[in-house]
Amino acid sequence: MKKLFTIFAVIALTAGSIGLSSARQSQSSKAQAESVAGVFDYYLLALSWSPTFCLTHKDDVQCSGKGYGFVLHGLWPQYAAGGWPQSCPPLTRLSAAETSKGLTLFPTKKLLDHEWAKHGTCSGLGAMGYLDEADKAVAAVKIPDELQPFSTSYYFEAQEIAQLFRKANPGIPADGVAVICSGPELSEVRVCMGKDLQFAPCGKGVKTQCRAGDIRVPPSR
């Protein structure tokens, strides 16, 4: 009886493991199937504070003394209910003309290629159309004077940074901007925009991710 019980237990555990694995594969397949170009609700414009990136990527081309402040990290299609599509078929490489255009927006080709493959393909606009939208989105957001590149560290609370962006861009709603930190430093500011690139509330899951109190905004390199 003990042997039979052990056998049944092993079979049950194996079946459960297979079932869990199948469920995970099903969820992954579902997520992949849901990533359809052009099927999304709004954009998230991610502006990276370059000096913080350069603290840990000193040899990156972006960090070669160009004095960047905020740079374009990406324009990301999002779902209002949370999450986002990614790597939408058909996956295509950027042409020489598209790369040339992209390098007027993104600080490096590596970042450009990554953002196009993961996020741009889901815009449903084609590469040049996506890059044009990214150009317009960046132009629509005014960087606060207090957060222009500077030569010494500044300290703000995350909510103060969000307020500075809303003050400089009166159309941004209270829930339309999120501040992201990397440890004690400012990493990104993310602004939510409709498909028409008008400022809009953020969807589920987009929120400020910083510790309480002052955070450091490192100087430009």
Catalytic positions: 73, 115, 119
**Separation between Cα atoms, residue 62 and residue 79, nearest integer Å:** 30
With a CB cutoff of 8 Å and minimum separation 6, the contacts of 79 are 40, 41, 85, 203
30 pairs with which residues across the strands?
Answer: none
Q: Phi then psi for 11, rounded to 5 degrees?
A: -60, -45
71 pairs with which residues across the strands?
Answer: 48
How far lies 158's CA from each of 36, 55, 161, 170, in Å? Answer: 34, 20, 5, 18
Q: Is the dihedral of CA 26, 121, 106, 100 positive or negative?
A: positive
Asked if 20 and 166 touch (Cβ cutoff 8 Å), the reply is no
